[in-house]
Amino acid sequence: MVVVYAILLLPVVIVVLTSLTVNQAPTIPSDGVSLEWYVSLFQNSQMISAITTSTIVGICAALLAGTMGTITAFGFVRSEIPYKESLATVMLLPLMISPVIVGLALLRFGSQVGIPTGYVQIILGHAVLTFPFVFLIVRARLLTFDDRLEAASRTLGANSLETVCNVTLPILAPSIVAGMVIAFVFSFGEFTATQFLVSPETTTVPVIIYTQIQTGLSPEISALATVLVALALVAGALGDRIQ
């Protein structure tokens, strides 16, 4: 286990260390530690624009995936749908199909039906990719839901809508929010499909990192990667605490 975790985490630790170097190249600091590359990062308008775009896309995609995933999970658990298990497998296709294929399919589909490029295509694409996370988490919670709570609510005079709003959704809320947090983190770091959907005005963080390293590595990229690692850790801890 130690060896496995070392292989997984050592490259991340090296990236964090290289963001603290005083040199112009991303090297492990040996002549002192500096935060100048973080200052440079937050003074770079292109980087700030990419972070803003990724944040907007991640929040919108998480909200859309959360809504779709919750409604779909309700339909699968509470309704008698023919071939329910087979259809549930189909819902997980975005996880099983290569993001390259998903990105190309969304690009082609968007051009055919006239979906605007930029934010709209990226948000829809990320919502499709992250929808299975919310669907799986909420569906699992619904399968273990105590139906007697809803029956008690209706016995006390609440109608179906009041029962859902005051009993069902509050109990499901931690699972829904946890799924949305996972969707946000996945969206923020998604590159493979996103590269087909971005425009010059809506470049996301992973795409700009890939573009930057084509011309040479910079400690500024390490600083940006460190910010992403910190964001993922915070979001993961938040999702775990909510769950």
pLDDT (tens digit, 0 to 9) for every residue of the chain, 243 residues total? 999 988 888 888 888 888 888 877 777 877 778 888 888 888 888 888 888 999 999 999 999 999 999 999 988 888 887 777 788 888 888 888 888 888 888 888 888 888 887 888 899 999 999 999 999 999 989 888 888 998 899 888 888 888 888 998 899 998 899 899 889 989 988 888 888 888 878 888 888 888 877 777 778 888 888 888 888 788 777 767 766
Residue 57 is part of which domain span? Answer: 48-242
Contact 47, 41 (CB under 8 A): yes
Tell me the pTM: 0.83
Q: What is the CATH number of the domain that holds 182?
A: 1.10.3720.10
3-state secondary structure of 2: helix
Paired tokens of 194: 């996103």
Q: In the chain, which residue ranges form alpha helices assigned H by DSSP?
A: 2-18, 36-43, 45-78, 84-91, 93-96, 99-113, 119-143, 147-155, 160-163, 169-189, 205-213, 219-242
Separate counts of helices (H) and strands (E) for the chain: 12, 0
Alpha carbon distance 106, 114 (integer Å): 11
Tokens 């290289």 locate to: 18
Q: What is the pLDDT of residue 65?
A: 94
User: Does residue 133 fall inside a structural domain?
Assistant: yes
CA 96 from chain center: how many Å? 16
- The residues near 125 (Cβ < 8 Å, ≥ 6 apart) are 102, 103, 106, 193, 194, 197
- Considering the domain boundaries, does residue 160 fall inside one? yes
171 Rama class: left (phi>0) / alpha (psi -120 to 50) / beta? alpha
Structural domain total, the chain? 1
- Tell me whether residue 168 is in a domain: yes
End-to-end CA distance of the chain: 26
Q: CA 56, CA 34: separation in Å to the nearest integer? A: 30
Is position 7 within any domain?
no
Indicate the angle between helix axes 119-143 and 45-78, nearest 10 degrees.
40
Whether 29 is covered by a domain: the verdict is: no
Inside any domain, residue 25: no
Is 130 a member of any domain?
yes
**Within a domain: residue 9?**
no
Here the tokens at position 221 are 């990229």
